Structure 1
């Protein structure tokens, strides 16, 4: 696994500043750090917090260049597989299917979506059918992907709190130490 340095992680996050977020009122950096903050508030473990911060990394210029033509969640998952590990990669890959799952299984969920998210839902395949939903729910990490999806949907407030980059870096460093791999 090609580990990511703490400095490079901070550069990646800071490089998202000013990048539009699909018609939402926040930029990519604010969205990433708000999602991570919501993950911390939700009691997520360190690896899930890092995955939350990087769930849209597939939209970053360098990641798009490495994986041209892939949807952002799959490009981000490929990147995460190399730099973070398989769990983070799966969760990142599944944050879009988790939206489709929630629309299919939670009657109140659709009303929580922004206009931009509703528009992208159509492109992403709409609600899952019963077979897709059952297969998604059966995966051992499905709950993590659903949690990430809910934090993702809530992380669109231009005035909302964010996780500071330094705190995200410290969280990442704990992940690296727990995995016993050098940074």
Structure 2
């Protein structure tokens, strides 16, 4: 593989940056495959749950599919908790950041905020604000986030639920991540 000659970015030439841009685009094109491989590794769980993180993700996506959600939202449901591994204190924002270039403003917002919306189901048991989500009550996607959490996220911890396998979702993950990034659409 050809490499650049510079040791400081400020010394790079146009040809070197064109080369790096080519390599970066090839790497970007492999994002869906890297995500799917990462998902395969989510076979352990946080202590106390009856299912793995992968199974929770598959259940969420299967429920979205069965409810007739569009492909973008199905992929978002599948990937909504990918931040749990590396960013447990802000997993929603992590997942939303991964999805942001490829999904609508609405889908991004739902995934970014779902952690706060999920608090509705448990925060009061821990002496915290169960109604954290109410600060977004006037937001145009508020009800969509409520629905995401109610129908797909909070309901997906059932060891007896028959979810689709990861391989089933792979083609639509690849399709969503093959989109031209929203930031480039003019």
TM-score (norm 1): 0.68
Ranges in structure 1 where 5+ consecutive residues have no aligned partner: 104-112
2:129 and 2:30 mapped to 1: Cα distance? 33
Contact 1:3 1:82 in 2 (8 A): no
Counterpart position of 1:31: 56
Counterpart position of 1:8: 34
The aligned length equals: 154
2:58 and 2:73 mapped to 1: Cα distance? 13
Contact 2:123 2:130 in 1 (8 A): no
2:76 and 2:52 mapped to 1: Cα distance? 18
Ranges in structure 2 where 5+ consecutive residues have no aligned partner: 1-24, 182-186
1:4 and 1:140 mapped to 2: Cα distance? 33
Contact 1:58 1:79 in 2 (8 A): no
Alignment of 1:171 with 2:172, yes or no, is: yes
Query: How big is the shift at 1:141?
Result: 2.6
Counterpart position of 2:138: 138
Counterpart position of 2:161: 160
Alignment of 1:77 with 2:96, yes or no, is: yes
Query: How big is the shift at 1:26?
Result: 0.8
RMSD of the TM alignment (CA)? 3.0
1:13 and 1:52 mapped to 2: Cα distance? 13
Higher relative contact order (CA 8 A, sep 6+): 1
